[in-house]
Chain A
Amino acid sequence: GAVVSQHPSRVICKSGTSVKIECRSLDFQATTMFWYRQFPKQSLMLMATSNEGSKATYEQGVEKDKFLINHASLTLSTLTVTSAHPEDSSFYICSARVQIREKLFFGSGTQLSVL
């Protein structure tokens, strides 16, 4: 299957700082990328959908000014958690899709811990 690389795998930061997470499709061009949040023993919660070259579409209840998403190229999307707080601590996962009918491939996830 296609490879989606996500970095960093783990990050610990102080409250009030910003953290950037990168998601790259390594062997295909991803027209659409998705960002999820996952709490322990729970399923994936879709945060936002980003299409290359356009603004991300955020799910209800997700603060777009807090979770900044940039999809500047067909192989890279970034999620920046701004002014992070302890309640933002979670496992964040990205996924990428080639075309609208195609399979979804996931990155390996980023565990964010805000102290």
Chain B
Amino acid sequence: QKEVEQDPGPLSVPEGAIVSLNCTYSNSAFQYFMWYRQYSRKGPELLMYTYSSGNKEDGRFTAQVDKSSKYISLFIRDSQPSDSATYLCAIGSARQLTFGSGTQLTVLP
């Protein structure tokens, strides 16, 4: 079992839709949870960072962490074509950070 599993997608949604991206993890010692957005042939860009259970909101993005279920989600409201990218979850501890395999999202105009 991989330490971090991410829904592989690809995901295609119409503009304005709510997008849900998800990852699960197996190591209960993991305490840092991040979401990155990566455009093609570019470095990942940090979107959200949290280390506690619950929701964290930043504009159209909401990161949700459920430590009891070892499950994290990223919600994108009012999705835009410019949101089309690959989204990576990154979960870890002070010593180790493990990336999900990425979910490719396409938002259709």
On A, residues with C-beta under 8 Å from B are 1, 4, 6, 41-44, 91, 93, 95, 100-101, 103-109, 111
Please name all residues of chain B whose beta carbon is closer than 8 Å to the beta carbon of A91 when the two chains form the complex: 41
Q: A42-B101, A43-B88, A43-B101 are in contact. Are A93 and B46 (CB under 8 A)?
A: no
Which A residues are CB-close (under 8 A) to B95? 100
- Closest residue of chain B to A106, judged by CB? B43
In this complex, how many residues of chain B approach chain A with their Cβ under 8 Å: the count is: 21
Q: How far is the CB of A38 from chain B (nearest CB, A)?
A: 9
A43 and B99 form a contact (CB under 8 A): yes
Residues 20-55 of chain B, each 1 if its beta carbon lies under 8 Å from chain A, else 0 = 000000000000101010000111111001010000
Question: B42 touching A109 by the CB < 8 A rule?
Answer: yes
Contact A106 B90 (CB under 8 A): no
Write out, one digit per residue, whether chain B residues 90-109 have a CB within 8 A of any chain A CB (1) or not (0): 10001101011110100000
Query: Contact at B88–A44, with CB atoms within 8 Å?
Result: yes
A-B contact pairs, 27 of them (CB 8 A): A1-B46, A4-B43, A6-B43, A41-B104, A42-B101, A42-B102, A43-B99, A43-B100, A43-B101, A44-B44, A91-B41, A93-B43, A93-B44, A95-B43, A100-B94, A100-B95, A101-B32, A101-B51, A101-B94, A103-B49, A104-B34, A104-B90, A106-B36, A106-B43, A106-B44, A107-B43, A108-B42
